[in-house]
Amino acid sequence: MKKLLLIATIAFFGTILSSFVYQDNAGDRLIGVWEPSNGRARVKVEKIGAKYYGKIVWLKEAIDPVTKQPKVDKNNPDPNLQNIPLKGFRMLKDFIYAGKDEWNEGTIYDPLNGSTYSCTIKMTDKNSLEIRGYIGVSALGRTDIWKRLEVKKK
C-alpha cells in the first residue's frame, strides 16, 4: 500500500513538474535573430533567467559617416549613455512569457528618438512577430512586424 501511494505521489508531482517545464520552454520560441520591417538592424533575443532580452547584433549602417566610428546612441536622453555603441545595445528588456505566444511586461528602446516604450510581443507564426510599443495604453501605440532570420550553420 505504501509503495502504491509513493508511486502515485511521484507520478502526480512528475505531471505537475513537466507542465511547468513545458510552459517555461514554450516561451523560448522567441529566442533567435529578428529583423524589424525597416531592415536597418537585426536583434538577437536571448533568455536570461526567466526573462527575454534583445540586443542589436547588426546594423545596416554600422559606421557613422561623419566620425568614421561605430554608430553610438547619440539620441539617448542620458548624456552618459550617448557614446555607447548601438551594436550590442540591449533594446528589448524584461519580457515575460504570458502564454499563447505572447510576451509582455517588457520595454523597447528606439535609438532613432531616444525613447523607451512599454511593449508587448505576439508571435503570429514561427517566423513573424508583432512588436507593439506604446505609452500608457496599448491602444495608443504602434506595431511593427519583425521577421526571423535563418542562422546559417557552418
Helices (H) then strands (E): counts for the chain: 1, 8
Task: Give the global pTM.
Answer: 0.80
**CATH class of the domain whose range is 30-148:** mainly beta
- 18-26: average pLDDT: 54
Beta strands in the chain (DSSP E): 32-35, 41-48, 51-59, 90-99, 102-110, 115-125, 128-134, 141-148
Cα-flanking dihedrals φ and ψ of residue 145, to 5°? -100, 125
Report whether 68 contacts 103 (CB < 8 A).
Answer: no
Domain extents for the chain?
30-148
Report whether 39 contacts 30 (CB < 8 A).
Answer: no
pLDDT over 60 at 24, yes or no? no
Cα-flanking dihedrals φ and ψ of residue 149, to 5°? -100, 140
pLDDT over 60 at 30, yes or no? yes
Cα Rg of the chain (Å, integer):
20
Residue 74 makes CB contacts below 8 A (sequence gap 6+) with: 82
- 128-133: average pLDDT: 98
